[in-house]
Structure 1
C-alpha cells in the first residue's frame, strides 16, 4: 500500500513539474510540452500561461482555470484573473478584485486600497499613502509604513521612506538601512548604493566608497558587476575592488566567466582578466545562459558557444518573455535547453542543436512555465 501511495505522489509531482508553453495557431490557443507535442489540444479563444499548475482560460467571456489535462479546475465565473503565486490568485468579479485559493474559494484579506499580486510569498497592501505586506494566510507581516516597496527579487525588495532607500526581506526585516539616495538589488548580503554624491557597496550594513564611480549595475549570476568611472566601464568584485579597470564603452554582466563588451561600434566578449577572447564583430550581444550559449546579433540573432563559434545562424528574433508572460524580465536566449525565437512573423522554440521543437511555428509562443 505504501508503494502505491509513493507512486501516486511521484506521478502528481511529475504532473506539476511538467512545463507547458502557451501557443496560438490558426487563432486558437493551446499548450505544448517540451517534446513539441500538444499537451492540451487547441480549443481556447483566449488563455494565459501556467503558474503553479493552473492556467487561466476564457469561456463565454468569463475566466476560470484549467489543469494540465485541460480540465476545468476552477469554473469560468470571473470577469478577469491574474496568475497564481503562493497558492493565491487575484480575480475580478462584479467589479471587485479579491483573492482566491486553488479551490476557487474567496479569501478575506486585510484592508487595502488596492489588491496586489503575490510574489516571493507576500503581497503589498496599501493604506492611504503607505504600503505594507501580507502573507498567503492573509496575515499582515509588515504594517503599511513605507512610501514605496519595489518588486521582490529572491526574497528582497528595495523600500523608500522620506526619499531615503534601503532593503527589506519578505518578513519585513530591514537588511540594508533606509538611509541612501539609491540602492541596487541584494546579492550575497551586498548591494550597491548612492550616498550623497558618491557610489559604493554596502555589505552587512558597512558602506565602502568606490572613488570616482558614478554608476554601478546590479550583481546577477557571478560575484562581479560592472561600474562606470570617467565615462568608461570596468568590473568590480563584492568588496568593491576593480578586477578589470574601466576601459570599455559599454558592458553587460559576467556569466560563464565571459562578459559582453562594446569596443568601438561592435560587441565581443572578455574573460575575467579583461582580455578579449571572442572578437568584437557583433551589432549586439547578450550574456551566456546556463546551457552555455549566448545570443549575438548581426542583422538578426543567432547563438555562439563559449569558444565563440556560431552554432546557430543569425536569422532569428529574440525577446524576453512575451505578451502573456508571467515575468517581466525573463532571460533571453536558451532556458533549460530551449530558446523562444521569432522567424519572420512566426514564433517557436529552438533546441540546442538548432532544430525547431516539433518542427512547428506559431502565431505566438510564450515561455515554458509550470
Structure 2
C-alpha cells in the first residue's frame, strides 16, 4: 500500500510541485522522474492516473492533481477516489456521488455507499443498506434491493439473496439461481463460483465447466485466471486457461495479477529461499528472473529491483531494462504512461514517473 502522512499548506503544495524532470533513456524506452512531491495523502484504492489525474488530500480535504503536479480540481471533498471510465467517486456532505474531470457532479451525491469505479458503464450504489446498479446518467438499471451485488460484466451481475449467490441480468431477472456460497463476475464467458468450500467455473447457462477443486479462484482475464490449491500446509498459486488446462502448475508461493500476457511470480524452494521473475502466459515458460522485488506488468512494462532492495529498474517483456535515476520503496503500475513512486517506508514523499515512449 502506498501512504502519505505529511501535512502541508496549499500554498506550499503549489510552490513545491514545480515539475523539473530528470529524463533517462535506452533504446526506444524513455523515462522521466519528477521532483519530490509531499502530500497529506493520495488515493491508493483505485489505480492512479485514470484520465491523467490523481486524487490527493490537502489540509483534510480531497481534490485532484494532474501529471504535472498542479491542483486542477480544488480540494473540497470529504473523500475521493481516482478516475475510471471518465468519472470519479467522491463523498460530499456524508453522501457519495460521481464527478467528471472538470469537478462537476454528473451523478449527485445522494448514496450511502458506492462502488469506487464504473465497470463497463455501470456501477453499484447503496441506499438504506441495500444495493443496486446505475448507469453513467445516474439512471437505476437494477433495483436497489440486494444485500450485495458485484460489478456488471457481460450483461450479468452476481447478487446475494439471503445467504446464497446467483446471477441477474440488466433487467433484474434472476437467470442463474441463488445456490452458491460465493460468486464473482463473468469474464470471457465464465464466472468463478464457490460450493462446499471449493471454487470452480460456470458458463452463462449455469453449467459447471471447470470442476470445484480450488481453494481460491478469480475471474478470467484475456483467457487466463489465477487459482490456488492447498497442498499440505501450503497454499500454492497456478494459472489455468478457459478449458481448465494448467498453464502454470500450482507450485508458486505467489503469482501477482496477470496483465500484458505476463505472470509475475515468487517461488519458494524446500530450503525456504525465494526466487522471482516473470512467466509468459502464452508459452508457460520463464521470460526472465529478477533479484529482489517484482511488480505487475502494465502497458508493456514492469518495475523491479536489480541487485537492490528498492525498486530501481523498468523492464520490458523481453527482460531488457534501464535503470531509474532514483530508487523507490513502491511504484504503482503504469496508467496512461504515468506511475507514482514512493521514496521510503513511511511513504511520505513520492515522484511522478512518466514513460515517455
Q: Does 1:311 align with 2:287?
A: yes
Alignment size in residue pairs? 294
What's the TM-score once normalised by structure 1's chain length?
A: 0.64
Residue from 289, 305, 310 that aligns with 1:346 = 310
Q: Does 1:143 align with 2:113?
A: no
Residue from 66, 74, 78 that aligns with 1:114 = 78
Tell me the distance in 1 between the aligned counterparts of 2:264 and 2:224.
13
Rate the CA distance shift 1:143–1:293 in 2: closer, same or farther, 3 A: closer
Match of 1:282 in 2: 252
Match of 1:254 in 2: 220
After superposition, give the CA deviation of every residue in 1:21-73 in whole Å (9 maximum; x if it has no partner). xxxxxxx9745568577655x772x14xxxxxxxxxx7xxxx9xxxxxxxxxx
Match of 1:336 in 2: 299
What's the TM-score once normalised by structure 2's chain length?
A: 0.66
Tell me the distance in 2 between the aligned counterparts of 1:98 and 1:36.
35
Question: 5+ unaligned residues in a row in structure 2: which ranges?
Answer: 1-19, 268-273, 339-357
After superposition, give the CA deviation of every residue in 1:171-201 in whole Å (9 maximum; x if it has no partner). 2122222111111112122111101122111
RMSD, aligned α-carbons: 4.0
Conserved 8 A contact 1:88-1:102? yes
Rate the CA distance shift 1:246–1:163 in 2: closer, same or farther, 3 A: same
Shift of 1:101: 9.1
Tell me the distance in 2 between the aligned counterparts of 1:143 and 1:360.
42
Question: 5+ unaligned residues in a row in structure 1: which ranges?
Answer: 1-27, 48-57, 64-78, 320-331
Shift of 1:229: 0.5
Tell me the distance in 1 between the aligned counterparts of 2:287 and 2:78.
48
Rate the CA distance shift 1:234–1:210 in 2: closer, same or farther, 3 A: farther
Tell me the distance in 1 between the aligned counterparts of 2:302 and 2:52.
28
Rate the CA distance shift 1:301–1:253 in 2: closer, same or farther, 3 A: farther
Tell me the distance in 1 between the aligned counterparts of 2:74 and 2:264.
46
Tell me the distance in 1 between the aligned counterparts of 2:52 and 2:325.
33
Match of 2:163 in 1: 197
Shift of 1:289: 2.5
Q: Larger relative contact order (C-alpha < 8 A, sep ≥ 6)? A: 2
